[in-house]
Structure formats: C-alpha cells, structure tokens
Structure 1
Amino acid sequence: MAVPKKRTSKAKKNARKANWKNQAKTEAQKALSLAKSVLTGKSNGFVYNTLEVADAIVE
C-alpha cells in the first residue's frame, strides 16, 4: 500500500539550501576571478586568441 514519505526536517532542509548557496557563491567567485584575470591579461589557466575576439567584435 502507498504510504506518504516522511517530512524532511527544517534543519536538513536548511543545511541543503546553505550548501547549495555556498556552492553557487564559490562558482560565482571563480567566474569573477577568471574574468578579472582575463581582462588584466594575467590569466594562465584560460587561453584564448585575442585576434579572433577582436575580429568577432568588429564584424
């Protein structure tokens, strides 16, 4: 017979939500850091051809 599932506690729900938000915050910080390093030209982990980017902007 079908039995309803038990309700998730507030503590567990809040812990999962906090974990999800912290992961999103970390990824946002990484993206911002990468963008800053690309703009300053000091990036080592992200390689792209600036000539292709400039040509794409002009077109």
Structure 2
Amino acid sequence: MAVPKKRTSKSKSRKANWRRKALFVSKKSLSLAKSLINSKSTTFIHNKNLDYYELTEVK
C-alpha cells in the first residue's frame, strides 16, 4: 500500500534554498573570474594596466 512521504521541515527547506542560492552565486563568480583571466569578458569593465593602481596608492 502506498504511503505518502513525510513533510520536509521549514528549517531544512530554508537551508536547502540557501545552499542552492550560494551554489548559483559561486558558479556565477567563478565564471566571471575565468572570463577575466581569458580576457573574454564583455560585461565586466576593469583596467588591465597595473601601473594605474600603483600610481593611485596612498602613501
């Protein structure tokens, strides 16, 4: 005879949602980092010249 499954508690479902969101954000940031390394980024604007950062340092 078929028995219905037990209900997932709110804390477990919240934790699962938090982990799912964290996984999505980590994948997105890793993808952006890879595209920056390969110089194929079209959506992230950054200055590749490191001299700019050395000149603007506070001494």
Tell me if TM exceeds 0.5: yes
Query: Percent of pairs identical after alignment?
Result: 42
More helix by share: 1
Deviations 1:6-58 (Å, cap 9, x if unpaired)?
xxx8621100000001101100000000000000000001011101xx2236x
Q: Take 2:17 and 2:8, find their aligned partners in 1: how far apart are those partners?
A: 14
In structure 1, runs of 5+ residues without a counterpart are 1-8
Secondary structure, in 3 states, of the residue corresponding to 2:9? helix
Q: CA RMSD in A?
A: 2.1
Matches within 5 A, 1:1-59: 11-51=9-49, 54-55=50-51, 56=53
Ranges of 4+ aligned residues in structure 1 off by more than 4 Å: none
Q: Take 1:12 and 1:49, find their aligned partners in 2: how far apart are those partners?
A: 45
TM-score, L = length of structure 2: 0.70
Q: Which has the higher contact order (CA 8 A, sep 6+)?
A: 1
Q: Take 2:48 and 2:10, find their aligned partners in 1: how far apart are those partners?
A: 47
In structure 2, runs of 5+ residues without a counterpart are 1-6
